[in-house]
Amino acid sequence: MDGRQPIVRMSGSDTVHAVEVTTRDMEGLPDARGDSVATMLAADYGIKVGGVRVNLGYLIKAEMSQDEVERSVYDLFADPVIEIGSSNEALLNSNDLFPHTPEAVIQVGFKPGVTDNAGQAGLDGLITLYPRLAGQSQVATSRTYMFWGLPEGTNPSELAAMIHNPMIERCAIAGADDCASARWPSLGFPDRPPAVFAEPAFVDLEVSDKQLEEISETGLLALNLNEMHAIQAHYRDPEVRVARESLGLPAGAPTDAELECLAQTWSEHCSHKIFAARINHKDNVTGESSVIDSLFKTHIVSPTLDIQKEVDWLLSVFHDNSGVIAWNDEWSLCMKAETHNSPSALDPFGGAITGIVGVNRDILGTGLGARPIANTDVFCFGPPDYTGDLPPGLFHPSRVFRGVHAGVRAGGNESGIPTVNGAMVFDERYLGKPLVYCGTVGIMPRRLSDGRESHDKTPSSGDIIYMVGGRVGSDGIHGATFSSLELTEESPSSAVQIGDPITQKKMIDMIIEARDTGIIQVITDNGAGGLSSSVGEMAELTNGAEIDLEVVPLKQAGLSPWEILVSESQERMTVGVRPEDCEAFETLALLHEVEATNIGEFTDSGAFVVRFADTPVAHIPISFLHDGCPQLQLESEWTPPQHEPFWPPSMSATGMGDVLSRLMARPNVASKEAWVRSYDHEVIAQTVIKPFCGVNHDAPGDAAVIAPLLGGTQGAVISNGITPRYSDIDAYSMAAASVDEALRNAVCVGVDLEMIAGLDNFCWPDSVESTKTPDGRYKLAQLVRANRAIDEVCRAYRLPCISGKDSMKNDVTMHGEKISVPPTILFSLIGNHNDVRKAVSSDFKCPGDHIYLLGETHQELGASELAYMFRDEGSGGIGGEVPRINPERNLAMYRALTSAMSEGLVASAHDCSDGGLAVALAECCFGSDSGASADISSLERDCNHLDEWGALFGESLGRILVSVSPEDSDAFAAAMKGNSCSRLGTVEVGDEITVSYGDTEALQASMSELKKAWQGSLGG
Amino acid sequence: MSARPRVAVISGFGINCETETMAVFEMAGALADKIHVNRLVNGEVSLDDYHIMAVPGGFSFGDHLGSGRLMGNRLRFGLREQVRDFVRAGKPVIGICNGFQVLVKMGLLPGDDEVSLTQTASLALNDSGHYENRWATLEFDPDSPCIWTKGVSRMRVPVRHGEGKFVTDDRNLLDQWAETGQLVARYVDPSTEYPGASDEVLPYPVSPNQSWRNIAGVCDPSGLVFGLMPHPEANHSTWLGATWTREETEHGEGEGMAIFHNAVEYAASRM
């Protein structure tokens, strides 16, 4: 190929035009895209390059004249002031623009069928210029990376592997020789191969058990033999057979669509079979032997229902897409958190952006539609500085981190939803599957103007079913069943998608307007399981639905009926509208440029009926769909694990300062500011307590406080707790600590303890005993213990769970190597704040202020961050006492503290978590550019065998470090009477942090040096 | 104030600060309506009925093909005469963040006397190469004709953008705009005495994006059309400040409100 030929390509019958754009070479205008690539290569791979430039490419498949294409260059694709554009001519051919020949050029574009948001935007822009192009035209984007000053021996293919993901992207490479002769890489238009339409087929289930299992496995159905038997039995039922015959369906066998629909609805992902299982539980310590009939009902739902009898603000719990609380007389709040782990392992960016915009839709699909107003994100990754072996097929954790972060950033920012709170946890066991938790808070009026309560859905038989938003494609087929399986090298790329925040934003604007007009009767999102789930679930409310798949708008012609039914293509809601409101609904959709298609209606026929035009596709009784899945029977057995104990060395005061400095630099403790600042945390202009605080805006906050009614002073508190390390000793402690951490953080900003609600999000390794999981009984016992902790602690804190989720197969087997995540719970909390003007931040305020530690300190260093640090450095184990919880004692203190806050007696409050008191003390000093002096000898009062390691670095729960101005000190001490409250010392002018144990110096450190260590290890 | 000016707050296609932009105009005494761009294009609503127009922040069209570009085109091609008539009628217009990017890319800012809608400046990627949310301090040119910033010297506001570096391909224009007072708002080191604005690019993060001459916002020659990257509407109440918990504050309106009061009073005085 001669690169100097004009690049007009033919693709099918359409002409493909190419437009290319580069940054203009002006003083004071860097090519910031190129510079970012250079920074990433240096940070993640240690490759220092002389220079990188990035050109943006657009392939336009449209009937346009060369003249029109040329005009579109500066009218649309290139900025006339800061960019240079060309049409149908490679910019690299210009000696003026690129006087030096690059050493390598890599062009990256999406694979066919992968969502290309920039391409979609380009097409929209083109239609603004040339309206006649609407309908048949397409735009695809690419990026061309040009490198100069590559280190000796750099292989362009390896370089390409660093900047593209072959799962979703294509690349073309020009090495030095190609560049010298101007043979530039040039990708063609990513034409989708035509889909092959298959008429509905039936699946013969009158086969051996082995074949039944094969049907499930090869079809990625994730159904076990018991479940296959249940389906088989259904189709043997004579009544069912007669009914099917009369409908023109195969009498004794499911259609492919029916089997897929059942597999989606019954998947672990959608129906939480392990949480619903009947468990024989044995405890080898206590001798207990008992039967648990559903962990979910016993330990999660039951405490909430008991609390619901005593409070009037729990409006909707567990059954909708998110839990709803009555925040005040006019407004309710709702919250949901989800995980998107498997897709994020395969494509970190796409998995994460799909995760965040997906949970936003859970809010939009709550009640009659809520508006998302705040996001939270919590990630668990392998260590970013990991240097060990990595099974082939897995990305390095720093790349997963970068991609997930970029995905959540794009998803949240572009949707205009502030990311107000989050956390990052690092552990080698997250190398296989990262955990990507995305949470969203929503707000809705208690009542609509027509008097309906907005947290209740009000569908009737006869309501029209609309599919709204994006179109259906072959992307996202089998997402729900896929995430119910472990990840292997054969995992399908079709399960990966890229979210499209702008399509979704248009849809959110439209839905909220439709809700306020009173024309929505029922709504839910299309997530896992696609239409089969969304319509299938809502059909339960009217006892039936009938849809026609032929009218469903497709991204690509030729999809088979079962694919249309289960595809999880994103940015879609399913909405029920009364026939008389359809015209108004469609007019709104048109205005917002949102596609809304009437695909059928709700009925009371008792069945979920699917047609493709006149061909019957599926007919499943609602009762069988939702209640036909047989309960799992599982075994669990608890024997506590044994660990080498933690043995601290003997240390001088400055040596302790050095230990603290190393601890501050651990990724679990270190500042995440460089990453968090690239989330918009203030859009909607409501964020009162932000992720960072202090005189230089760089000290860590605890919980977020928002004031969503602009100008109003009532607030909402949002916080998170996640402590997976403790499950290495006891998952009970892990779960208890997660709840306490979330509440402790909320208490630090002054939450109203009369209105707090929680979300439990479990991420577990496979805990069903099998040849693949020989330790399944132990892992299930961990799950039992964690559930019991949630039950007991939430009851004691009067903190009802209102929603939650579980992801139960977080294992990866790559080339025979299995990596399982540690049992992990994210506990998220949403609470009321009576007056945001009284909210408290974590930074010390003034030298001279008195420092208090609230809560009891015990010798609890088991599985602490300190113990892990020493273990990683080669000395000792992580064994010892893991933090125990006393929720009644903690709650009494939390009540006293929040009431002191409302009196204005508290200058700052910060929770003690990873790294204990010493880390908390340093962080409070960071916020005031000050030092501190403290004496920890009084802590012995609560624990007679407490040593200085336990006092400084132990992670006992229920502890908050507080500062109080000297004039308020007496009143504060009086307010805290009856609770453990130790005056430790004073905020000091200067840089010195000193801690003594009576007359003995225990720790000495420089605040600014600690801050340097804390800020230095996770730079952007 | 006798009459309440009506404010057209533009929405749709990924604009996402319309709620708070409406709120600040209402707090300043105006009546604000959220108006989807397409309602102006299809004639359902007319800009003639409004006294102020605001293009809020957001991520219109995902910032693809350059922030504000596609929305700018929707206005430039779909509403050209409506927008020009509005400006020529002497009515105030503000563009905030993405709205500022829209006004610059459609050529309304820094603009010219003829309202020719010719683009002369742009907002490039931040030197950091990525989006950032942090607080900055602005200083306003006291000699500017800008009606939005009258009497305001400095203001603390959040910046939240990835493409906010103000540049032009004709450096002579910068001198001209400085002369006519169009370089209204600039990032400034808060520890300096007022006036402290400088042409030298200040270090990051005092200047979060390394904008030329530290420019954060500009106005047109008439002073009626104003746009800026930072978000004054996000500092509408004292409890939204970055360091308010460290300050002795009489709680109430935030520093950002001055801008909206100015415009509402200006519009009311002409009704």
A361 touches B: beta carbon within 8 Å: no
Report the SS3 class of residue A215: helix
Confidence of residue A974 (pLDDT cuts 50, 70, 90): very high
- Distance of alpha carbon B192 from alpha carbon B202, whole angstroms: 12
Report yes or no: A790 and A801 within 8 Å, Cβ to Cβ: yes
Which residues lie below 8 Å from residue A888, measured CB to CB, with a gap of 6+? A796
Cα distances from A826 to residues A311, A412, A593, B207, in angstroms, run 25, 20, 38, 37
Q: Is the pLDDT of residue A9 over 50?
A: no
| Residue in A357, A502, A693, A833 to test binding to B, most B beta-carbons within 10 Å | A502
Query: How many C-beta neighbours within 10 Å does residue A652 have?
Result: 12
Cα angle: A756, vertex A369, A609; to 5 degrees: 120
pLDDT digits (tens, 9 = 90+) for A686-738: 999 999 999 999 999 999 999 999 999 999 999 999 999 999 999 999 999 99
More confident residue, A876 or A427: A427
A76 touches B: beta carbon within 8 Å: yes
Q: Is the pLDDT of residue A7 over 70?
A: no
In the predicted model, what is the mean pLDDT of residues B54-65? 94
In the predicted model, what is the mean pLDDT of residues A572-600? 97
Report yes or no: A885 and A793 within 8 Å, Cβ to Cβ: yes
Q: Is the pLDDT of residue A471 over 50?
A: yes
Residue B219: active-site member: no
Report yes or no: A785 and A736 within 8 Å, Cβ to Cβ: no
Quote the tokens at residue A607.
């069945």
Place of tokens 């030329």: B212
Min distance A117 CA to chain B CA atoms (Å): 8
- Distance of alpha carbon A459 from alpha carbon A576, whole angstroms: 7
ipTM surpasses cut 0.85: yes
The sign of the torsion formed by the CA atoms of A794, A797, A800, A805 equals negative
pLDDT of residue B1: 47
Min distance A677 CA to chain B CA atoms (Å): 5
A878: DSSP letter? S
Query: Which chain B residues touch A501 with a CB distance below 8 Å?
Result: 14, 59, 62
* Closest CA relative to residue B19, chosen from B231, B255, B253: B231
pLDDT digits (tens, 9 = 90+) for B179-212: 999 999 999 999 999 999 999 999 999 999 999 9
pLDDT digits (tens, 9 = 90+) for A846-869: 999 999 999 999 999 999 999 999
Q: Is the pLDDT of residue A3 over 80?
A: no
Quote the tokens at residue A292.
């648990």
Q: Is the pLDDT of residue A495 over 70?
A: no
Residue of B nearest to A685 (CA): B234
Nearest to B27 among A82, A83, A711 (CB): A711
Report yes or no: B101 and B123 within 8 Å, Cβ to Cβ: yes
List b or e across A870-900, with b for residues whose CB sees 16 or more CB atoms inside 10 angstroms: bbeeeebbbbbbbbebbbebbbebbebbbeb
- Distance of alpha carbon A409 from alpha carbon A356, whole angstroms: 9
Q: Is the pLDDT of residue A8 over 50?
A: no
Q: Is the pLDDT of residue A895 over 70?
A: yes
Q: Is the pLDDT of residue A1 over 50?
A: no
Nearest to A697 among B134, B212, B231 (CB): B134
Query: Which chain B residues touch A593 with a CB distance below 8 Å?
Result: 13, 38
Cα distances from B257 to residues A655, A878, B91, B100, B136, in angstroms, run 52, 54, 19, 18, 16
Cα angle: A102, vertex A1020, B17; to 5 degrees: 105
pLDDT digits (tens, 9 = 90+) for A336-349: 999 998 888 888 99
Residue of B nearest to A126 (CA): B70
The answer to whether the Cβ–Cβ distance between A128 and B77 falls below 8 Å is yes
Query: Which chain A residues touch B208 with a CB distance below 8 Å?
Result: none
The mean predicted confidence, pLDDT, of chain A is: 93
Query: Which chain A residues touch B236 with a CB distance below 8 Å?
Result: 685, 710-711
pLDDT of residue A136: 84
Q: Is the peptide bond before A700 cis (omega within 30 degrees of 0)?
A: no
Phi and psi torsions of A14, nearest 5°: -95, 150
Q: Is the peptide bond before A190 cis (omega within 30 degrees of 0)?
A: no
Min distance B26 CA to chain A CA atoms (Å): 10
Element (H, E) at A41: helix A32-45
- Distance of alpha carbon A456 from alpha carbon A961, whole angstroms: 42
Phi and psi torsions of A6, nearest 5°: -60, 140
A84 touches B: beta carbon within 8 Å: no
- Distance of alpha carbon A220 from alpha carbon A224, whole angstroms: 11
> Of A191-205, A465-479, B62-76, where does the model show the most confidence?
B62-76
pLDDT of residue A478: 65
Quote the tokens at residue A84.
């240079």
The answer to whether the Cβ–Cβ distance between A686 and B105 falls below 8 Å is no
Report the SS3 class of residue B219: strand
The answer to whether the Cβ–Cβ distance between B167 and A82 falls below 8 Å is yes
DSSP string, A405-422: HHHHHHHHHHHT--EEEE
Report the SS3 class of residue A593: coil
A823: DSSP letter? P
In the predicted model, what is the mean pLDDT of residues A476-483? 63
The answer to whether the Cβ–Cβ distance between A711 and B119 falls below 8 Å is no
Q: Is the pLDDT of residue A497 over 90?
A: no
Q: Is the pLDDT of residue A914 over 50?
A: yes
pLDDT of residue A529: 82
In the predicted model, what is the mean pLDDT of residues A418-424? 97
Report yes or no: B127 and B96 within 8 Å, Cβ to Cβ: no
Confidence of residue A11 (pLDDT cuts 50, 70, 90): very low
Report yes or no: A337 and A762 within 8 Å, Cβ to Cβ: no
Report yes or no: A830 and A718 within 8 Å, Cβ to Cβ: yes
pLDDT of residue A1019: 79
Cα angle: A427, vertex A428, A434; to 5 degrees: 75
pLDDT of residue A783: 98
pLDDT digits (tens, 9 = 90+) for A131-141: 999 988 999 99
DSSP string, A58-119: EEEES---HHHHHHHIIIIIS-TTTEEEEESS-GGG-TTT--S--SEEEEEEEPTTS--HHH
The reported pTM is 0.96
A613 touches B: beta carbon within 8 Å: no
- Distance of alpha carbon A718 from alpha carbon A751, whole angstroms: 9
Query: Which chain B residues touch A926 with a CB distance below 8 Å?
Result: none
End-to-end CA distance of chain B: 11
Query: Which chain B residues touch A711 with a CB distance below 8 Å?
Result: 23, 27, 236-237
- Distance of alpha carbon B116 from alpha carbon B108, whole angstroms: 8
Report yes or no: A404 and A436 within 8 Å, Cβ to Cβ: yes
A413 touches B: beta carbon within 8 Å: yes
* Closest CA relative to residue A490, chosen from A810, A114, A812: A812
In the predicted model, what is the mean pLDDT of residues A106-130? 94
Q: Amino acid identity, residue A221?
A: L
Q: Is the pLDDT of residue A199 over 90?
A: no
Q: Is the pLDDT of residue A14 over 80?
A: no
In the predicted model, what is the mean pLDDT of residues A628-655? 93
The mean predicted confidence, pLDDT, of chain B is: 96
Q: What string of H, E and C letters represents the secondary structure of A974-1018?
A: HHCCCCCEEEEEEEECCCEEEEEECCEEEEEEEHHHHHHHHHHCC
Report yes or no: A565 and A617 within 8 Å, Cβ to Cβ: yes
Q: Is the pLDDT of residue A577 over 50?
A: yes
- Distance of alpha carbon B130 from alpha carbon B206, whole angstroms: 16
Q: What percent of chain A has pLDDT over 90?
A: 85
Q: How far is CA A372 from its chain centroid?
A: 15
- Distance of alpha carbon A290 from alpha carbon A279, whole angstroms: 8
Residue B146: active-site member: no
Residue B200: active-site member: no
- Distance of alpha carbon A158 from alpha carbon A180, whole angstroms: 20
Quote the tokens at residue A97.
């623009």
Q: Is the pLDDT of residue A650 over 90?
A: no
- Distance of alpha carbon A296 from alpha carbon A285, whole angstroms: 24
The answer to whether the Cβ–Cβ distance between B120 and A77 falls below 8 Å is no
In the predicted model, what is the mean pLDDT of residues A93-102? 95
Report yes or no: A702 and A720 within 8 Å, Cβ to Cβ: no
Q: Amino acid identity, residue A929?
A: D
Query: Which chain B residues touch A688 with a CB distance below 8 Å?
Result: 239-240
The answer to whether the Cβ–Cβ distance between A125 and B62 falls below 8 Å is no
Element (H, E) at A332: strand A331-339
More confident residue, A7 or A554: A554
pLDDT digits (tens, 9 = 90+) for A300-327: 999 999 999 999 999 999 989 999 999 9
- Distance of alpha carbon B51 from alpha carbon B270, whole angstroms: 9
